[in-house]
Amino acid sequence: MSVCLPRRAKNMLAILATCLAFIFVLSLTLPVGAQSVDPGVGQPVALADVLEDVTPAVVNIAVTARGPEAANPLFDDPYFRRFFNIPEMPRQRPRMSAGSGVIVDAAKGYVLTNHHVVDGADEIAVTLKDRRRFTAELIGSDKATDIALLRIDADDLTDIPIGDSDRLRVGDSVVAIGNPFGLGQTVTSGIVSALGRSGLNVEGYEDFIQTDASINPGNSGGALITADGQLVGINTAIITPAGGNVGIGFAVPIDMASSVMNQLIEHGEVRRGRIGVAIQDLTPDLAEALGANKAFGAVVASVEDGSPASRAGLQSGDIILSVNGEPISGSSDLRNTIGLTPLGEEVEIGYLRDGQESTVTLKVDDDSAFVDDSDTSDRLAGAVLEESAGNVVVANVEPGSPAANAGLRTGDIIVAVNRQNVSSTAELTRILRDVQGTIALDLLRRGQRLLLVIR
pLDDT tens-digit map of 411-431:
889 988 877 888 877 778 777
Amino acid at 129: K
Share of residues in the chain with pLDDT > 70 (%): 77
220 in catalytic set: yes
- Which among 122, 226, 120 has a CA at the least distance from the CA of 168? 226
Strongest mean pLDDT among 101-115, 277-291, 317-331, 383-397:
101-115
Share of residues in the chain with pLDDT > 90 (%): 34
Residue 202 has pLDDT above 50, yes or no: no
**Out of 1-10, 228-237, 248-257, 359-368, which region has the weakest mean confidence (pLDDT)?**
1-10
What domains sit in the chain, N to C, each tagged with a CATH number? 56-151 (2.40.10.10), 165-267 (2.40.10.10), 277-368 (2.30.42.10), 375-454 (2.30.42.10)
307 in catalytic set: no
Q: How many residues does the chain have?
A: 455
Is 68 in a helix, a strand, or coil? Answer: strand
pLDDT tens-digit map of 129-175:
999 999 999 999 998 889 999 999 999 999 999 999 989 999 999 99
Query: DSSP letter string over 129-198?
Result: TT--EEEPEEEEEETTTTEEEEE---SS---PPB--GGG--TT-EEEEEE-GGGS--EEEEEEEEEEEE-
How many angstroms separate the CA atoms of 222 and 57, rounded?
A: 10
pTM score over 0.75: no
* Strand segments (E) across 217-291: 223-226, 231-238, 249-253, 277-281
Catalytic residue among 100, 220, 310, 401: 220
Strand partners, 360: 349
Residue 186 has pLDDT above 80, yes or no: yes
How many angstroms separate the CA atoms of 210 and 232, rounded?
A: 12
How many angstroms separate the CA atoms of 81 and 235, rounded?
A: 48
Catalytic residue among 146, 159, 333, 412: 146
267 in catalytic set: no
